[in-house]
Amino acid sequence: MAKNTLSITDNRTGKTYEVAVTDDTIKALDLRPIKVNDADFGLLAYDPAFTNTASCRSAITFIDGDNGVLWYRGYPIEQLAEKSTFLEIAHLLLHGELPTQAECEQWIYEITHHTFLHENVKKLVEGFRYDAHPMGMLVSTLAALSTFYPEAKEVRDPEVRRKQIFRLIAKTPTLAAFAYRHSRGLPFIQPDNDLSYAGNFLNMLFRMSEPRYEPNPALEKALDVLFILHADHEQNCSANAMRSVGSSLADPYCSAAAAAAALYGPLHGGANEAVLRMLNEIGSLKNVPKFIEKVKTGEGTRLMGFGHRIYKNYDPRAKIIKQIADRVFEVSGRNPLLDIALELERIALQDDYFVKRKLYPNVDFYSGIIYQAMGFPVEMFPVLFAIGRMPGWLAQWQEMLLDAEQKIARPRQVYIGHARRDYVPLEKRGSAPQPERKTARAAT
């Protein structure tokens, strides 16, 4: 009978080792006994950017990148986007199950009643320059919330965690809206707790002199679906940041700020902003082939919104976004950038360069076009991603804290610096011969 083990022969010594295979993985620590001699530290797995390393066991999100499949807690994203709501999804990600009617009402009540910010947060936001990027403001104010809720550091206490989870899901849109209003020189708008989560966010962003803001139902629904599509995506760069910082037992505000900082980058959540800038730069349909050629030579930019570490097929979220685009355009009018995006996709999907590398549109390719049609400025795009992703970050953080196998995240390295050398006094520097660089591995 076949055994669930892996035999490894070390050709340096001729010794063979048998390592257990569980869930198609081996434990990197099982490589440690593989040594050349007793003084040897033992074999390490080298995996920059974790391209083939599972850092945890997780029951939250499943992705089959080859077949373009995404499930939250087992439910296909297509069904959730069509039938569910963002707050229900937040409950699903954090609790593992869709809420019952009573649970759902309580959950929504709790989140809705934590939307207000301490008045001092306004002063913090006002301290930013008029042209500060809202994502920079969001990262900073998320971290600042830590100082308002010092009890949040009791991360091992489930009741304390619960409270901070409500606060973070509830207050992130308020922080985001305040950042937007500040950059527009507009007065802050307080939350309207009679509106839905997405509806209230639109209220805090766009309300002007009207006594009561009435969100457009089509835009409110589209935004709720966009939040659902962004709610979690297993061990991506920002979830990894959330887990990594959280593993030091930092409070969730600081961990969420770290996650938001990771999301800010153009290869991650900043990609939707980069897509819009790219589409504007291309400017018209006739420039698309030339742009594609520039991408292929590698001298220009990448085709932003294309490619994914995990998906080697069409991102299922991008398909859903394309469908909701029409509903948004009925209200807002068609965004002319859509034609450029469609042409880019058409050419890229037939081009050998993209086909060979399995590069398909990802979630960010069409989201920016919709956000723009809904009236959001480009700088707000990654902020919208962060609001949607908050329940996912919190679910990943909580799962990490409850996982007995997890410890403070602390990777190993292969040291390639200088061998030991003695300090050279200033007056003798420049003439002292430098010892050759030598590869050595840190041994503890």
Window of 11-19, 77-85, 193-201, 298-306 that interacts with ligand CMC by CB under 6 A? 298-306
Q: Which of 96, 94, 53, 90 is nearest to 74 (CA)?
A: 96
CB of 238 to ligand CMC, least distance (A): 8
What residues form DSSP beta bridges with 15?
10
- Specify the residue, 136 or 265, whose C-beta has the smaller distance to ligand CMC: 265
* DSSP states along 87-156: HHHHHHHHHSSPPPHHHHHHHHHHHHTT----HHHHHHHHTS-TT--HHHHHHHHHHHHHHH-GGGG-TT
Q: How many CB atoms lie within 10 A of CB 107?
A: 19
Is 308 marked active-site?
yes
Q: Are 262 and 237 in contact (CB under 8 A)?
A: yes
Per CB under 6 A, the list member of 73, 308, 322, 389 interacting with ligand CMC is 308
Residue for token pair 């030091």: 248
Q: Tell me which residue has its CB nearest to ligand CMC.
A: 307
The gap between the terminal CA atoms of the chain, to the nearest Å, is 39
Structural tokens at position 246: 């959280």
303 binds ligand CMC (CB under 6 A): yes
- Indicate if the alpha-carbon torsion angle 129, 135, 138, 142 is positive or negative: negative
Per CB under 6 A, the list member of 87, 138, 228, 295 interacting with ligand CMC is 295
Window of 121-129, 247-255, 280-288, 295-303 that interacts with ligand CMC by CB under 6 A? 295-303
In the region spanning residues 355 to 374, those forming contacts with ligand CMC, defined by CB under 6 A, are: 357, 359, 362-364
How many chain residues touch ligand CMC (CB under 6 A)? 20
Strands 69-72 and 61-64: antiparallel
> What mask, x for binding ligand CMC by CB under 6 A, covers residues 260 to 289?
-------xxx-x------------------
CB of 333 to ligand CMC, least distance (A): 26
Per CB under 6 A, the list member of 236, 335, 396, 398 interacting with ligand CMC is 236
Q: Are 350 and 304 in contact (CB under 8 A)?
A: no
CB of 367 to ligand CMC, least distance (A): 9
Alpha-carbon gap, residue 437 to 435, rounded angstroms: 6
* DSSP states along 285-315: GGGHHHHHHHHHHTSS---TTB--SS-SS--
Q: Strand, coil or helix: what is 46?
A: coil
Among the options 268, 339, 351, 403, which is catalytic?
Answer: 268
CB of 372 to ligand CMC, least distance (A): 17
Is 268 marked active-site?
yes
- Specify the residue, 73 or 233, whose C-beta has the smaller distance to ligand CMC: 233
CB of 341 to ligand CMC, least distance (A): 13
Window of 11-19, 122-130, 297-305, 402-410 that interacts with ligand CMC by CB under 6 A? 297-305
233 binds ligand CMC (CB under 6 A): yes
Which parts of this chain interact with ligand CMC (CB under 6 A)? 233, 236, 267-269, 271, 295, 302-309, 357, 359, 362-364
Catalytic residues: 268, 308, 364
